[in-house]
Structure 1
Amino acid sequence: MAKTALITGASGGIGYELAKVFATHAYDLILVARSTDKLQQIQSELTQSHPGQVHIFSYDLSQPASPLALFEQVQQQGLTVDVLVNNAGFGDYGPLAECDWDKHSALLQLNMVTLTHLTRLFLPPMLERGSGKVLNVASTAAFQPGPFMAAYYASKAYVMSFTEALAHEVDGTGITATVLCPGPTRGTDFQARAKLGEVEFFKQLKLPDAAAVAQFGYDALERNQVVAVHGVLNRLLVFTNRIMPRRTVTNAVGRLQAPEGK
């Protein structure tokens, strides 16, 4: 019997590429995103190229009621979630004092609260079965403060800390938890949604593509790796961040991300 992976933020970028990777490995899929049209296109594509079932659910997961509604719909349809992939998330750029609070509130809800709530909902059935996996998508932003993207960086630090703690809690139960930490990635709408186009540093980066990041994340999940940082350079930067004074790292990130005139 095929296993089933539920993937949030599956309509594009890393989430879409993860869906393709899981499909290649004969998983049935539950794909979740806001856009019904995009989900239907992906459903059609994957069902034609892979034998597994593809279920789609349209939810705005930045809404507080959506995790429970999604869980209940999955239960009502008699679907078993063997792998929970919490990929949905977004960033926002600019000084906190000038931010759009509605957008920031949605960011915090989606990146942290929804991720935690979905894990809380789908984890008990996994524990009852004695098997299951959780893959949370964080970022290399998790390893340092990020001036001018303060809430986003902090939210990803939460995701990493939460996943590491969860991995300890479920050790020996048959459940594993993995946190994927990519750097900036080509083939996603992250930079556009976060309005990073004006930051010269991000314009100059040679970025890996979302497919490579997704495959790396899947492989780390299969190895039961807890923290998976994509890319040799990113792993070097993470190591450097851990040994440098915190203030020095914060100042460096602040200079790289500062808007013109700041």
Structure 2
Amino acid sequence: MKYVLITGGTSGIGFEIAKNFARDCYGIVIVSSNSNRLKEAKKKLADEFKTPILTYQQDMGKIGAATQIYNRIKEDNLNISILVNNAGIGLIGPTDKIDLQRDESMMILNVINLVELCKLYISDMYIRGKGKILNVSSIGAFQPGPYTSTYFASKAFVLSYSRAIRYEAKKKGVQVCVLCPGATRTNFFVQ
């Protein structure tokens, strides 16, 4: 069974990606910090598709979360064929007014744990000589974002990082892509 790991896969773009992979008979592994949303997403997917749906509760806005979830999935003997780094948050307001702790958590989620998951899984994929990574960035990656400064900067990082590792990975049988959606009707700004 091929498995796809989707962070932030309980709603919005991540949930739609999960539905598409389930339709193609992939086993679905969803990571989210919200246990109720995990249960709801699992039920919706299981009602519609006949494929394994596994959920892991993990707050990806904390240092070390990527390694923790990677180790838990390894302990469950799941080989991840596709990694989708979709989890992310955005904060709006003047940079001096956005709470420092919330800004830091956003950077950990949008940048640090995304990089760590890529590094952990790309190593496994190199050994197998195949695999795919999709990092979700934003149209905001292409310009500065006054009143969304850290968010736009984090998404510019995701775009640049993804393009760089794509170049490195292409000769090793691993595909790396980046998705840069525009404004989308999701729960993204519901905190």
The TM-score range, normalised by the shorter chain, is over 0.9
- Indicate the SS of the match to 2:91: coil
- Indicate the SS of the match to 2:5: strand
When normalised by structure 2's length, the TM-score is 0.97
CA distance in 2, matches of 1:40, 1:47: 10
CA distance in 1, matches of 2:43, 2:67: 27
When normalised by structure 1's length, the TM-score is 0.71
Q: What is the correspondence of 1:29-108 to structure 2 with a 5 Å cutoff?
A: 29-108=28-107
- Indicate the SS of the match to 1:135: strand
Instruction: Give CA deviations for 1:14-41 in whole Å, capped at 9, x if unaligned.
Output: 1111111110111101100011121112
Instruction: Give CA deviations for 1:182-230 in whole Å, capped at 9, x if unaligned.
Output: 00101x122344xxxxxxxxxxxxxxxxxxxxxxxxxxxxxxxxxxxxx
Q: What is the correspondence of 1:16-27 to structure 2 with a 5 Å cutoff?
A: 16-27=15-26
Query: Quick one: which of 185, 188, 191 aligns to 2:189?
Result: 191
Give the match for residue 127 of structure 1.
126
Amino acid at match of 1:190: F
CA distance in 1, matches of 2:190, 2:54: 28
- What's the % identity of the aligned pairs? 36
Amino acid at match of 2:156: A
Amino acid at match of 2:154: S
Question: How big is the shift at 1:148?
Answer: 0.9
CA distance in 2, matches of 1:90, 1:169: 28
Amino acid at match of 2:145: G
CA distance in 1, matches of 2:187, 2:37: 14
RMSD (CA atoms): 0.9
Amino acid at match of 2:122: L
**Given that residues 32 and 38 in structure 2 are in contact (C-alpha distance below 8 angstroms), is that contact kept between their aligned partners in structure 1?**
yes
CA distance in 1, matches of 2:170, 2:66: 25
CA distance in 2, matches of 1:151, 1:81: 30
Whichever structure has more helix as a proportion of its residues is 1
Give the match for residue 14 of structure 2.
15
CA distance in 2, matches of 1:98, 1:68: 32
Note closer, same or farther for the CA distance 1:191–1:40 as it changes in structure 2 (3 Å cut).
closer
Whichever structure has more strand as a proportion of its residues is 2
In structure 2, list runs of 5 or more residues that go unmatched.
none
